[in-house]
Structure formats: C-alpha cells, structure tokens
Structure 1
Amino acid sequence: MDIEEIAGRISGKLLGNGGEFRGKFTTLGAAEEGDIVIRHWIDDRGIQIASERGVAAIITQDLRSDASKVLDVPIILVDRIEIANALALSWTINRFASSSRRIAVTGTNGKSTTTHMINHIITTAGRSSYTNTDSRSEFNTLIDPVVAQHIAEAASREQLEFMVIEVSEVQGWLGRVMRDHAQLMTSAIQPEMVVITNVAMDHIGLVESVDDVFREVSGALRAMDSGVAVLNSDDERVRAMADINPLLRTVFYGSHGPVRYTGNGIHCGDDLIIQTDELPFTGEHFIQNTLAAITAALELGFSYEDVRRGVETYRALKRRFTHLMDNPRVIDDFAHNPDGIRATVRSAACDLKGRLWVVNAIRGSRGEDINIMNAEALAESLKDLDVELIVTSSSDLVDEQNRVLENERRVFLHVLDENGIGYTHIENLRDALRRVLENAEPSDTVLLLGAQGMDPAADVIGDLTRKSS
C-alpha cells in the first residue's frame, strides 16, 4: 500500500505528500524508518520525533500542531482512530500471519482468562501461538497499534500457527464510545471462531443499558461470514445470540452444552476430560472460563490429553482470584463490575474456615452509576455472611486518572448504609491492608476486590509482611 491508499481506506485527510509504505504499523516510541505511527493525538514534539526516525506517515485523530509547520512527515487526520487501528491489525495479520488459525474472545467478564487459557492449551501441545493477553492484560484493548506491532515481531521469530486475540466488548476514548468496536476488530482479525463469555453491565458512560452491551458484544458474531460461535449457555443473553448469524455453527458450553462441569470434574458428553482435583482452581468464574477454553480447544481439533495437560498446568493471570498468602488466606481478584463481585464473593465464601474479611476499592473517576451498581452487588453478596468489610479510596496509591471523587465515595457508602451493611471506610489502601493483617486470625479469609484502586495491593501486602517478620 502507499500512503494515499491508506488515507482513502480510513477516510482520512492527507496533509503533506504521500509515498510508499514499506514498514509496519506501530507506536511513536517503537517507530523505525519506514513505519507508520498511529497515535490518538500528536503535537510538534511528537512530529519532530517521527521525522527524526524517518517514519513514512503519522495517523492521528487530534493534531495539536499548525499543519503549515508540519515537517517532512505526511499526516493522515481521521475522525475515528479505531478505523486506523483496525486497518493496522488486518494488514499486519495478512502480511505476517495470513495462514494462522485465529480465535477471537469477547464478553464482559472472563475474556482475559479464557483467551490466556486457550493460548496455553495450544502452546502446551507444542504448537506456536500468539495472544495479546499477558500477565497484566495491557494489550487487549486494540485501540492502539501495539498488538499489530507485536504480531509483526512474533511472526519474525516463528511461523504462527494460531492467534488467540482478546477483543474488548466496549471501548471509548475521552468519553466517546467507539461504537461497534467488537464488530470492527473481529472483522479485522477474520477469525474462524468467536468465543463469547457473558454479557453484563460495565463501562457505564459508554453504554447506558445491558441491551447496549448485548448489541456491542454480539457485533463480533455479525462480523463473521463463516466459522464457529462458542457461546456460554448459562448466560441467557449469550444463549440468545445463537440466532444472530445463520452463517455460523453454534457450539454451547455449560449446563446446556456438551462441555460441562459436575462435582467430579469437566466432561464432554459422557467422557470425563479432567477431574476436579486436577483443576488448578475451582472458583465459579474460573470453571466457566475453563469450560469456554476447553470447548474452543476441542473445536480446534486438540485432543482430550492436550486439553487435560493444558488446563492442569495453567497458571492464572494476575489478579484473577490470585492466592497471595496463607494464615490468613488472602485472595486478590479484579472484581470491577457487579457480576464479577458476586462471582468472586461466592467463590471465596464457599470454602471458609474462619471469618471473611473483604477489602473493596471504590472505582475512581468512573462515575456514580458503576459505583452504585457495584455497591449494590457487594451488599447483596455479603448480607448473610459473617464479614468484616473495609472500603477504601486507595488515595495514597492511585494516580489522578483513578482518583475516587467525593460523589463516588458518597454514593457507594450510601448504598451500603441503605442495605444495612456494616463497614469501615479507610482512605488509604496501605492503612486498610495493615488493619486487616493486624486483626485477621490465621484461619480467616481476606478477599481483595476492585479494579485499579486495588492493583497495588499485592506489593503492599508483601511489604507489610516483610516488615512484620
């Protein structure tokens, strides 16, 4: 492709002269000569860096520079940066990994673990595979060209037989919803299979109802003109997606599908694939993700033995019901929306030996609605339990983008008050965790819940325990 063709394909306005594109799509920090940089915004300093590196062009949605001062770098100005990133993803796959078998995974909860586990099953079976879900889930949004860059780099090291790509169900930038994100990115990936985990409320402000989430998630199925849809039969909204695209073959997992869980393990039809005592975790949400991953792997042609070995050796992503310490047992989970909170509390509560302690981080700078819904889910989950609840704003450890605002704190605590849930609000995360570790008995369970506000907890606990020993 040349620069003029790229501008036309993304409905962009070309500033400066065009030319030939011989590199890869990438970020400004990783750019080399001949590459195209995609960046949400760029200023004079960024343009100067791009020029010094000899990039072929810059694509941006927000040009913070006088166009007349642009150096010798063509700039393509677009209305929707996600269109450019979809093109980058599609072009990169076709250029560097066109023969790969591709799987897209989306949904509100569980998509990171499901993606990660499918990839683990594949690589444990000795096959080459790329995934954009890593231990910190940094590269799963597809709203910048990092994944395209990583695919090009991975394909330069080995021929990729498989690609398992996590697709966000809803995305936005500066309060603007990137409408049809899952459909756009799935179309760019051109997978033979889409796995959908569930549909629930999250990303308040980008979506207004669960119907909006349904529409966004199901867009991944509408993007395909053939292939397999792997659907969660235990989620009624996902189950209803079976009729969305008649060109797809639908396979269910869960209680209404061939791959299901019973007390003694995971079965496919009448065959026991893996026993319960061989599973690395048995929490409710982990089981659901495992069923999804196993179903996908079997549909891809992997054997029961491949699946059993992959699941048995799987290690969870960071902050996915992660066991941090014993005596007391401390469990850390990225429970950032109502369904995640309910599932995590249920999983922790089913194996209590002593008292339950819950430290919950309020979601900062995400608005009142999601915090009201999270507080309602927390109240509902804790109402019949003997629990010591501590709520924190994590003010000592979050950045400005995740700062808990006064109205967010107020509405969260108000919901707990209305539901008669006792709690202690502690402003700083370090103080909240210190209080728990000083007062919990060795037989107790401590559950850490929350999104960005709870991210530093593992490091803080490690520091506190070292100082106390």
Structure 2
Amino acid sequence: MAREMENKLGDVCVLGLGKTGREVARYLCGQARGRVGSVTLYGGASSSEGDATRELEALGVRVVVGTEEVEGAYDLAVSSPGISEFSAFFSSAREHSREIIGEPEFAWRESPYKWVAITGTNGKTTTTTLSTALLHEGGLSAVAVGNIGNLCTGEVAARTPDEWFVAELSSFQLACTRLLHPRVACLLNVTPDHVEWHGSIEAYAAAKEKVFQNLDAGNLAIVSEEDSWCQAVISRLEARGLRVCHLNVHAQPQAPCAAFVRDGRLVVRLDGKEHDLMATTEVPIAGDHNLQNVLAASALALELGVSAQDVARGVRAFHALEHRIEPCGEVAGVRFVNDSKATNTDSVQKALTAFPKGRVVLLLGGHDKGTDLAPLAADVVRDCKAAVCFGAAGERIASALEDALAEGDGTTRVVRAPHLREAFDAAVSEAAPGDVVLLSPACSSFDEFGNMAERGRAFKQMVSDLGKKRES
C-alpha cells in the first residue's frame, strides 16, 4: 500500500510518452483529490497523437507532443530514463520546475520502506531476479522492480507493508536520484557503456555510485573489488564508515563483510560470521561472472534474514534467464546458447568464461556503440574457434579481430555476414559436434531489431527451425 502522505505534489510535469511516462501519469491521476494540482506530459520531439495520448487525456492529463520546449511552471518534473540529464529536453523541464527527478526516485518518495537496489554494467538482471527468488525461498514477500521491466511506480499502489522492492537500477535511473535510500545496495561492476548518454565514463561511473549516496552505518553496501572503478568506490564508502561486503570470485577478501570462493565453495561473511553455502559445481548458471552474481544475491538475502539453508536451496533451483547465457537447444551435437542481452564487450568477455576454450563459434555484431574493441578481440582470438561478425558493427569487429590475430598466434576464423540470419547459417557451417554456437553480440540490436529480446527470440527460432529441418 502506498504511503499516505499529507504533502501535496502540486503541478507535475512528466517527460516521455513511453512506458515510464504513461505509468507515472496514470499513477498521478489516481491520487487523492487535491494532492495533485495538474498533470502535464511532454512526449518529446518525435512524439505524436495516438491511442496513448487519447487514453491519458481521458484521465485528465494535458499531453503535449512534437516538442521538447517545456512551458509553464511546475512543482515537480518526473523524467523517463531514456532522456539524458544533459539533453535540451531535460534542461528545459528543469528550468520550468522546482525539482526534477527520475521515476525510481519518485516511487521511493511515495513508498520509502523495504528497498534494496542493484546496479552495475553487467549482471543486474540476473542478480535482481535471483535476489528476489532467494527472498521468496526464505518466506519473505518481494517483487523485482525497476530496469528489469516492472516499473517501481506501477507496484506502489498495491504494495503491502511487508513487501520488499528489489530494484534493478540503471545508470539512467540513478542519475536523477537524490533521496533514494535502500536498505542494501549492490554495485557489481563498472565498464564503459552508455558513455554517449552520460557524456563521459566518469559521469557514468558517478551515476552508478549514487546508489550508495544515502546509506548509513546500519545498511550494507555490496561491491565487487575486482575492477578499478569499484575498488575506488569501496575506499570512499569505507571512509564514510559504512559496512561494505567485498565481492571477489578469485581471492578471499580479509574484510569483516565479504562474499567469495574458497576451496571451490561459495562463502559469505557478514560482520565476521561466515556462511558456507555450497560448492561452485552446484551453481546451475555458468561462468565466473555468475558466481559473482550468486554471491551478491546470497549476501543480500542473508543480510535481510534468509537462512543459509534457504539461500543454498534457492540458488540450486535457479535457472538461466532468457537471453542471458540461455541454453536453447542442441542440433547434431552442437549446442546453441542465446546471450542476446550481452550488449557490451565486457559482458561477452565474461560469457566466454562459461565455455571450453577452442569450442565456441561466436556471433558478434549489431548496432555499433563505438566502444574500444581491443580487449574483446584479444579474448575472442584466444578462446574462440570462429567468430561470425554481422550487422552495422560487423566490419569494425572483424577488422579488430584480424588485427588481434596478426599480433598474436591465435587461429580463430573470422567470417563476415550481413545480418543475423546469414550469420547464423555461417556459424552452423563452422561448428562441429561438441562445439557451442553462442550469440553474444557485444552490441545493441537497433540496426536490425526492435530490442535485444526480439533478436534473441529470432536466434532461438532459427535453432528450432534447424532442428526440425535436420529431423525431417
């Protein structure tokens, strides 16, 4: 149940006509009479009238489309995550509003109890989903919200007092937070991504770190100590006197709070007390990065009171998420794996750790984010049997792989294909029994598909069609 608040929201401006903007506007229209003076939604320059605008107008929302020039005066503006804080649209709204915030911040203010928050460049969705499952295993009420696709605001009205919000928060969403104060906050990693939105890697990392800005000594920060950005964050958090759980898959931290692998077993230490959970071989999702995700989720659940036995049982029952190292069939002895959610280079590098070296035929390509390809190329030519490069970024990726081959002694075959369909056929031709055809593209999907899920499902359909063809 949403917290009943005496304070008025006044006149509210909502930015964006997508899912977030529509949900916030609907929520505002459902508030007690007098709490909200008016609701105005600006759709943006590319927006136009349609069913969505007519639905909102029927609720009493004033909808303005086709422009990013905000007019009038507002007590509060709520921005959708796709609108950069450095954009002219955002700036225009800020000039006409007393305060501008993002949707998770708005939801937290409406219902500011029992929140945990999870962020990082990679692993957010897996960790959020697993954390929610572990809380359920321990008998706690919990719902996954935020960037995972289930808007925080959409869950506020029906929320019960004992329900935990397990919030996956992107850098976009965190950039516009000010008061958000989770009970547990987790930062899995920081690698270059969405730099074009934030303006720099420093601004991107700073947005991620905002998940900790309001934590106090009674809370827990869970942070990987395996990359330089996160190491600096740990130092700053500990300087504030906060409890920090050090995540490390490859070494045992000496901190009083830590989650790590020791002698092939997952261990979580909280305030000096150790919980030996299970053998790494019992974890049902592959890869070192998933060991980190499991450790983070386990530490979070233990901190909130779930028993070690329930945590271990919940982990063993967990399955791969759709589009995240998702097994999707075997044809003629070749395994096919859908990792369409791997939209940056670091995610692909982590995915490769889940498979035997020299047995992967990798599908790389899509919309080119312009990121540095050298580290990815080095790992691919070291670990992969073949790489099929496709889409708008295909040529640049293929060239980077060939440069890496020229500098080393790898034997990876580099194949070019125009689109995913042709790339899939080429990968099948390169694969032999015992190999893995892995779609882990390192790019967003917008050159060919509406989103990464559409791309992943297209790949799975190709696998299904291949299986049927081989059976006939």
- Tell me the residue number matched to 2:396: 411
Given residue 390 of structure 1, which amino acid in structure 2 is its aligned partner?
V
2:390 aligns with one of 382, 389, 392: 392
Query: Residue 377 of structure 1 is aligned with which of 366, 375, 382?
Result: 375
Give the alignment of 1:65-214 within 5 angstroms.
Answer: 80=90, 86=101, 89-95=104-110, 97-98=111-112, 100-132=113-145, 137-139=148-150, 146-153=151-158, 155=159, 158-169=160-171, 171=172, 181-185=173-177, 187-207=178-198, 209-214=200-205
Q: Is the 8 A contact 1:92 1:152 kept in 2?
A: no
**Conserved in 2, the CA contact under 8 Å of 1:259 and 1:267?**
yes
User: Residue in 2 aligned with 1:322?
Assistant: 326
Tell me how far apart the structure 2 counterparts of residues 442 and 32 of structure 1 sit (CA, whole Å): 57
- In the alignment, the residues of structure 2 paired with residue 340 and residue 329 of structure 1 have an alpha-carbon distance, to the nearest angstrom, of 20
Note if 1:253 corresponds to 2:247. Answer: yes
Deviations for 1:130-176, whole angstroms, at most 9, x for unmatched residues? 11268xx434xxxxxx43123334x2xx544211101112x3xxxxx
Q: Distance in 1 between matches of 2:439 and 2:180?
A: 35
Displacement, 1:52? 5.0
The 1:236–1:148 alpha-carbon spacing in structure 2 relative to 1, beyond 3 Å, is same
Question: 2:23–2:153: 8 Å Cα contact kept in structure 1?
Answer: no
Alignment of 1:238 onto 2:230: yes
Q: Where do 1:214-363 residues align within 5 Å?
A: 214-224=205-215, 227-245=219-237, 246=240, 248-254=242-248, 255=251, 256=253, 258-269=258-269, 271-326=275-330, 327-333=333-339, 334-349=341-356, 355-360=359-364, 362-363=365-366
Question: Structure 2 CA distance, aligned partners of 1:267 and 1:387?
Answer: 35
Rounded to whole Å, the distance in 1 between the matches of 2:327 and 2:124 is: 20
Q: 2 CA distance for matches of 1:297 and 1:75? A: 35
Q: Give SS of 2:11's match.
A: helix
1:343-400 superposed Cα distances (whole Å, 9 cap, x missing partner): 11222235x6xx321121x231x44x22xx2x4233201223461221121xxxxxxx
CA apart distance, 1:94 = 4.9
**Equivalences for residues 37-56 of structure 1 within 5 A:** 38=41, 40-41=43-44, 43=48, 45=50, 49-50=54-55, 53-55=58-60
Give the Cα–Cα distance (whole angstroms) in 2 for the partners of residues 160 and 215 of structure 1: 32
- RMSD (CA atoms): 3.8
Q: 1:322 to 1:273 in 2, by over 3 A?
A: same
Residue equivalent to 2:35: none
Unpaired segments ≥5 residues, structure 1: 14-23, 69-73, 140-145, 172-180, 394-403
Cα distance in structure 1, aligned partners of 2:71 and 2:176 = 30
* Structure 2 counterpart of 1:321, one-letter code: I
**Whole-angstrom CA distance in 2 between matches of 1:34 and 1:27:** 11
SS at match of 2:300: helix
Number of equivalences: 405
Q: Secondary structure of 1:357's match?
A: strand
CA distance in 2, matches of 1:183, 1:77: 13
> By how many angstroms is 1:93 displaced?
4.3
C-alpha displacement at 1:46, in angstroms?
Answer: 6.7
Q: Is the 8 A contact 1:110 1:285 kept in 2?
A: yes
Report if aligned partners of 2:335, 2:437 keep a CA contact under 8 Å in 1: yes
Instruction: Say if 1:4 and 1:275 are closer, same or farther in 2 by CA, change over 3 A.
Output: closer
TM-score under structure 2 length normalisation: 0.73
Residue 309 to residue 60, structure 1, CA distance change in 2 (3 Å):
farther
Distance 2:403 2:208 in 1: 33
Contact kept? 1:232, 1:252, Cα under 8 Å: yes
Render the CA deviation track for 1:161-205: whole Å, top value 9, x for unaligned: 211101112x3xxxxxxxxx52533x4542122100011111132
Distance in structure 1 (CA, Å) of the matches to 2:287 and 2:9: 50
Offset of residue 45 of structure 1: 4.7
1:27 to 23, 42, 45: 23
| Range that drifts further, 438-447 or 29-38 | 29-38
Deviation at 1:410, TM superposition (A): 3.9
Please give the TM-score of this superposition, normalised by the length of structure 1.
Answer: 0.74
In the other structure, the counterpart of 1:396 is: none
Deviation sequence 1:415-444 (CA, Å, 0-9, x none):
223223641111121222133335522211
Query: Does the alignment pair 1:440 with 2:428?
Result: no
SS at match of 2:438: strand
TM superposition shift of 1:221: 1.8
- Preserved CA contact (<8 Å) 2:388 2:426: no
Q: Distance in 2 between matches of 1:231 and 1:75?
A: 33
C-alpha distance in structure 1 between counterparts of 2:21 and 2:397, whole Å: 42
Question: Is residue 78–residue 100 contact of structure 2 (8 Å, CA) maintained in 1?
Answer: no
